[in-house]
Structure 1
Amino acid sequence: MADRTAGEFFDGRAEHRSIAAKFVAARHAGEALGGYPGTPPGSLEEAYAIQALAIELRGGSVGGWKLGRINPPAADRMGANRLAGPIFTDMIFEGDAGGSREMPVIAGGFVAAEAEFLLRIGARTDPSKAAWTLEEARALVDRVAIGIEIASSPLRAINELGPAVTASDFGNNNGLLVGEELPGWRAADLDSIPVAFLLNGAEIGRATTATMLDGPWGAVRFVAELCAKRGLALEPGQWISTGAVTGVHPVAVGDRVEARFGETLSVGCVIVAQGNRD
C-alpha cells in the first residue's frame, strides 16, 4: 500500500478543517480558547481526521509521537487503550546539565509535564504492515533516553472532554525534552527502574512503567500499528514518548520541573509562556 497524505486519507469535510485551523492558529499565537472550536469528535477516527488536517495546516516535520493512556470505560467505548499525537521537530529540545532549558506552554490553556521514557526509531516502517509483535517493535528502536513531555493545549479543559478531544488537538502535546541515553538499555528491564517527578524541588510523583499497560515497548507497537491504519510510516529519528510514568502533573509558568530515573539520571526544565511563533 502506498503512503497517503493526511488530506487524502481522512475525511476532509469543512468542519474538521475549521476545527483544525482554529487549534493551529491558537497554538501559533500562544493563546487560549474559551471552548472546543466546533463539534467535538465522537470517535478516535474522527479525532485523527482533525489531527491529520491540523498537521497539514501547521506545517513542519513530525519528529515523533506522544502516547497517552485511555482508561476504562472510555477505552471500551473508543476501542483503544492509548491515543497518539504528533511531536514536531521544532518543539524537541535537548536537556542541559543544569536543568535550565526553557520549555514553552500555552498560558491560560492546559499545562502539565510528564516524566517519560523516550524511544527513538531507527528504521522506517512499512505502512502496509498492520500487526506488530513486541519483539518486532523493540527491534525498531536504536536509542532509549529519559525525558519530559510537555502537555499543553489552548483548551484548558482538553483532558476533561474525553480522549477523542485530546487526540484531535495533537494529543495535547506542546514539546519534548530529551535527556541522557539510558545506559545498557538493550538489556535493561525498564519496568524495574524507579521514576520520580519533582516540582520546584519537591517530589510529587513516583512509579515505574510496570503500571503502564504493556510498557514502553508496547507503546512502540501501538504507534506502529496506529500509523499503519492511518497510512503513515514511522521514520528514522522519530521519538516515541511512551507515556506518563508518574502521572500527568499540572504545572505553571515559572515552575521548575525535574524527572529522575533510577539513582543517577535526571533531566529538568523551566516552564515559560509561549509567545507568538512569528
Structure 2
Amino acid sequence: MSETKTVNTPPHAVETASRFLEARRSAASLPDYPGSPPVSLDEAYVIQDAALSQSAETVGGWKVGRINPPLSNQYGADRLAGPIFASTISRVEPGSTGRIFSKGFGAAEAEFLFRIGNAPDLGKTSFTLEEAAAHIDAVHIGIEIASSPFPGINELGPAVTVSDFGNNNGLIIGVPVNDWKSEAFADVDVHVKINGVVVGTGRASGFTDGAVGSVRFLLEHLARRGIAIKAGDWISTGAVSGVHPVKEGDRVEANFGSLGMMECTIVAQQAQ
C-alpha cells in the first residue's frame, strides 16, 4: 500500500478515486467519467494519490507516458506518471497474456524498462541525466498494457489519463539489454505487430532526453509528491512506437530488432 495520504483531499477527488478502484476490482465498465474530469495535471495527481491511499495493492513500479505537442504546452509537461502494481508485473514466457478491461480502454505499448538499483534520497528533487542513470541497475525490453474501465480515458487528455493510475494495467518484462549504458538501444528500430500487421515503428531516441529522460522526470516527479521509489522498482519509460489499441484475443508482437522479440495475447481482466 502506498503511504500517500488523503489529508485535505477534496471529497470529489476521493469519490472519483473510489469509483475507479471499485470498477477495477470488479472488472466493470465505466461508460462515463466518474465525476468531473480534472482540468490540470495537479488536480489529476490528487485523484491518483487518493486512489493509492485507498488501495491495498503494492506498487512495484511506475509508468511514464509521453505528452506530445500541443498538449504538452497546454498542460505544462511533456510526460506523465502512474503506478504499476506488483501483482500486474510478469516475466515474458510462452503463453504470456496482457489483461484489459472489457468495454473499457485497452492498448499495448513496446517500451524499454529500467530497474531501480539504489533509491535516491527523498530530499533530492533535482537530477541530471547522469545522476538519474546512476540509480539504474538493469534495462529490459518490455510491453506495457494500458487499460482502464473508462473507454474515453485517452480521448479526454493527459489529466484524465493520470487520474486512473496513468491508464496502466500491467507490465510484461522481456530479456535484458546487456549494453544499455552505451545507450545504443535508443537507436534500435522497434516494431509492433497486432495479429501479424505492423501498427507502429519508432526509436527511443525520439524521446526528449531519451529514455533516461523519463527516469529523471519520474525521480523528480515522485520526490515532489513525497513518494519514495524503491530498489527493485521498474520504470516503464514510454511507448516507443506509439499506443496501439487492442481487444480480447489479439496477438501482440513487440520486435526490438537485435535486442529481442516478445509476444503476448490479450485477454479480459477478471474481477479480483
TM-score computed with the length of structure 2 as normaliser: 0.96
Q: CA RMSD in A?
A: 1.4
Q: Deviations over 1:57-89 (max 9, x none)?
A: 121211111111112222122221100000000
1:158: Cα distance to partner? Answer: 0.5
Structure 2 residues without counterparts, runs of 5 or longer: none
Larger CA deviation: 262-271 vs 146-155:
262-271
Q: How does 1:163-178 map to 2 (within 5 A)?
A: 163-178=158-173
* 1:158 and 2:148 correspond: no
* 1:39 and 2:36 correspond: yes
Q: Which amino acid aligns with 1:131?
A: S
Q: Deviations over 1:245-273 (max 9, x none)?
A: 00000111001101111235011111000
Q: Which amino acid aligns with 1:54?
A: A
Q: Deviations over 1:159-189 (max 9, x none)?
A: 1111111001000000000011012222242
* Contact 1:11–1:49 (8 Å) recurs in 2: no
Q: Which amino acid aligns with 1:76?
A: N
Q: Which amino acid aligns with 2:209?
A: D
Q: Deviations over 1:7-61 (max 9, x none)?
A: 15x6412111100000000011111101110011121111111001111212121
* 1:111 and 2:109 correspond: no
How many equivalent residue pairs? 271
Equivalent residue, structure 2, for 1:143? 138
Q: Measure, in 2, the Cα distance between the counterparts of 1:70 and 1:264.
A: 26
Q: Measure, in 1, the Cα distance between the counterparts of 2:8 and 2:87.
A: 27
Q: Deviations over 1:123-181 (max 9, x none)?
A: 11212111100000111100100000000001101111111110010000000000110
Q: Could you tell me the percent identity over the aligned residues?
A: 48
Equivalent residue for 1:181, pick from 166, 176, 184: 176
Sort the Cα spacing of 1:114 and 1:11 in 2 relative to 1 into closer, same or farther, 3 A.
farther
Equivalent residue for 2:213, pick from 218, 233, 258: 218
Q: Measure, in 1, the Cα distance between the counterparts of 2:46 and 2:200.
A: 34
TM-score computed with the length of structure 1 as normaliser: 0.94
Equivalent residue for 1:51, pick from 48, 51, 58: 48
Equivalent residue, structure 2, for 1:92? 89
Q: How does 1:190-229 map to 2 (within 5 A)?
A: 190-229=185-224
Structure 2 counterpart SS, 1:6? coil
Q: Deviations over 1:83-133 (max 9, x none)?
A: 00000000001101x3x2122110100010000000000111212111100
Structure 1 residues without counterparts, runs of 5 or longer: none
* Contact 1:101–1:270 (8 Å) recurs in 2: yes
Structure 1 counterpart SS, 2:182? coil
* 1:234 and 2:234 correspond: no
1:6: Cα distance to partner? Answer: 1.5
* Contact 1:65–1:84 (8 Å) recurs in 2: yes
* Contact 1:159–1:165 (8 Å) recurs in 2: yes
Moved over 2 A (4+): none
Equivalent residue, structure 1, for 2:70? 73
